Amino acid sequence: MPSKSPAQRRTMGAIAHGWKPPAASGIKIPVKVAKEFNAADQKVHSSAVRHFKKGTGGTTYGTAIGGGAAGGGAGGGS
């Protein structure tokens, strides 16, 4: 099952790669579950990259999804 939000994707990816949340945070996600989410997110990400890279018009993955410094969307900006 892919993640439902960017925050969930980051959290699951971090736990899958060895991050241990502080005990006081109350986050109790098993590593096995985080790895399943991370694997599903990788499949979604790789298909999106293939789709946008094959397209025409200069669309790149970062700007089409809203990521990256110049991509706008959530997070950062001036």
Q: For 33-48, how does the pLDDT look when each residue is reduced to its tens digit (9 = 90+)?
A: 999 999 999 887 776 6
The mean pLDDT of 5-33, rounded to a whole number, is: 94
CB count within 10 Å of CB 67 equals 16
pTM over 0.85? The answer is no
What DSSP line would sit under 24-66, residue for residue? GG-----HHHHHHHHHHHHHHHHHHHHHHHHSSSS--HHHHHT
> pLDDT category, 55, cuts 50, 70, 90?
low
CA distances from 4 to 18, 37, 60 (A): 21, 10, 22
